[in-house]
Structure 1
Amino acid sequence: MRVVLFPFSVLCLLLSSFFSPLYAANDWYRPPVSVTWQWQLDGVVNEAYDAELYDIDLFASSAELIQGLQASGKKVICYFSAGSYEDWRPDAAEFADKDLGKTLSGWDDERWLDIRSSQVREIMIRRLDLAVQKGCDGVEPDRVDSYRTNTGFSFRANNQLDYNRFLAAQAHQRGLAIGLKNNPDQALSLVDDFDFAVTEQCFEHSQCRSFNVFISKGKPVLNAEYRRIYVDDEAQRNAMCQQSLTMAFSTLVLPVALDGTFRMSCLP
């Protein structure tokens, strides 16, 4: 009898997939178009907003916080970076040096990841398992459009599509909804794999129309705008919000730090 020996890292990946909680087909949360939401990734989460969905940090948020939000009728999306290494995360030591690329512009404590790496994918599987353990209804993996950036690695658009579809499939296997973060150029290719989109400054950067495909499929677009003029000038904010309502987007005006210091919603 021939015995096949697997490398330890491959064996761990196989076991993780085998023992992960699997759900029946289509058995996960699907947020509706024009869903109301709150997005806060830093500071003590303000639980008082009348929003159907909260998007909060996976690592910084306790299971008790998540359960408390759900007990008040809210769904909870848990944020983590899937395309960058953050040196303050509790699993930072699990990344191999060879998988760490260039530092992100404006984010000195983050480095791009080699999304082709099996070890990176194993870590993301464990993060999805953590989301299940904490009771998240879904996830928002960030930095999933790094193929357009000088990361220090030579991967291309097809590698990004493969990685993003891997994340979506693994999330769905665990009964988790998953959102496509930014990445307007691949929205059309990925809309069937993801349950919603999360965009930043799509009105400011004239990228919103790329995400209309989500609305046409009955999937919401959660958009955040950071321009100070939307905070200070009511007429400017109202004009932008009218565009958002016409497109059926769920747009918030938020602080760029996403620290909960203020929130203005375009939805009623």
Structure 2
Amino acid sequence: MGLGGAQVRRAMRAGLACTVLVSLAACRPDLTPPGAPTSWPSASARLWRWQWQLDGVLDVTVEADVFVLDPVSTTAAQTADLRARHRRLVCQVHVGTVHPDDPDATRFPPQVRGATATPSGRTWLDVRRWDALRPVLADRFRLCRGKGFGAVLLADADGYTHSPGFRLDFDDQLQFNRRVAALARSLDLSPGLRGNLGQVAALAPDFDFAVDEECVRLKRCDKLLPFVDAGKPVFHVEYTGGLTDFCVTSVGYGLASIRKHRNLDAWRLPCPVP
């Protein structure tokens, strides 16, 4: 589902007027400081500035309201610095895979391990074995809370769409993802969904926000509308093209969009906030 030409032109004129007539900061309402778990006021759903950094030295000075970071490599001092700046902090946790370098890799028994994905080297987990996975995931989430994160982004929550080495189906994955979201909430973390567009419509009520990669290039931004229509933020990234190539489309869908390098270092180019 796309926008008509008149709608696109109105959106562009409104954005240009805001940029030209007043400063970008004046275009944005005051944002409620984050709490625990992180809140996402619906009035600000389309206005977030965000950063996603998983590689390189963390740049805490980036002008972003939301930072998605790795909970292991990010230090408590860095999160304290960001929280002092009233940044919302999201830890990315792989809930459906394990990597040999993960500090807790030995806690996953052989019977829950499946096929290894290339080139990431991450091994898929049997998400049907909740009793075996829950304690490890709970400790991953506690690490996030202990370092001052208020939200968690669930990565690799779509094993059923790959070849995980198990006979996972749609319902297996759906039940697992809902369980993990509930686990996050029980530990005072706001849950977010990365990718897994095939289950967005079913999972939008269970999650507070979503992160998507390249929905403009892949022509699938409409699949994220269940979050947008519910007043929940969708953080979107493209890895190719200039801002003019995708910002009008993504902002038209109500997404908070940036351009990044694929290795997710500190560099970013944000789309104008509408």
TM-score bucket (shorter structure): 0.7 to 0.9
User: Which residue of structure 2 aligns with residue 250 of structure 1?
Assistant: 256
1:36–1:267: 8 Å Cα contact kept in structure 2? no
Q: What is the distance in 2 between the residues matched to 1:103 and 1:242?
A: 38
The one-letter amino acid paired with 1:244 is S
Q: CA deviation at 1:30?
A: 2.6
User: Which residue of structure 1 aligns with residue 128 of structure 2?
Assistant: 116
Superposition map of 1:174-253 within 5 A: 174-227=187-240, 229-230=241-242, 237-253=243-259
2:51–2:64: 8 Å Cα contact kept in structure 1? yes
The one-letter amino acid paired with 2:122 is E
Q: What is the distance in 2 between the residues matched to 1:199 and 1:82?
A: 17
* Pairing partner for 2:269 from 250, 253, 264: 264
- Superposition misfits of 4+ residues, deviation over 6 angstroms: none
Q: What is the distance in 1 between the residues matched to 2:198 and 2:220?
A: 9
1:191–1:213: 8 Å Cα contact kept in structure 2? yes
User: Which residue of structure 1 aligns with residue 184 of structure 2?
Assistant: 171
The one-letter amino acid paired with 1:158 is D
Identity, % of aligned positions:
30
1:84–1:113: 8 Å Cα contact kept in structure 2? yes
Q: What is the distance in 1 between the residues matched to 2:173 and 2:39?
A: 24
User: 1:138-168, CA deviations, whole angstroms, 9 ceiling, x for partnerless residues?
Assistant: 0112000111111100111101111110111
Superposition map of 1:97-136 within 5 A: 97-107=110-120, 109-117=121-129, 118-136=131-149
Q: CA deviation at 1:80?
A: 1.5
CA RMSD of aligned residues (A): 1.4
* Pairing partner for 1:63 from 76, 83, 101: 76
SS in 2 for 1:192: helix
Q: CA deviation at 1:27?
A: 6.5
The one-letter amino acid paired with 1:149 is H
The one-letter amino acid paired with 1:110 is R
Q: What is the distance in 2 between the residues matched to 1:239 and 1:259?
A: 22
Q: CA deviation at 1:175?
A: 1.5
User: Which residue of structure 2 aligns with residue 9 of structure 1?
Assistant: none
* Pairing partner for 1:150 from 152, 163, 166: 163
Q: What is the distance in 2 between the residues matched to 1:154 and 1:44?
A: 40
2:152–2:190: 8 Å Cα contact kept in structure 1? yes
User: 1:45-79, CA deviations, whole angstroms, 9 ceiling, x for partnerless residues?
Assistant: 11111111100001111111111101011110011
Q: What is the distance in 2 between the residues matched to 1:150 and 1:176?
A: 30
Q: CA deviation at 1:240?
A: 0.8
Q: What is the distance in 2 between the residues matched to 1:105 and 1:250?
A: 29
2:150–2:189: 8 Å Cα contact kept in structure 1? yes
Q: What is the distance in 1 between the residues matched to 2:65 and 2:54?
A: 17
**Stretches of structure 2 lacking an aligned partner (at least 5 in a row):** 1-34
Query: Are positions 1:78 and 2:91 aligned together?
Result: yes
Q: CA deviation at 1:105?
A: 2.6
**Stretches of structure 1 lacking an aligned partner (at least 5 in a row):** 1-25, 231-236
Q: CA deviation at 1:191?
A: 0.4
1:138–1:176: 8 Å Cα contact kept in structure 2? yes
* Pairing partner for 2:153 from 140, 150, 154: 140
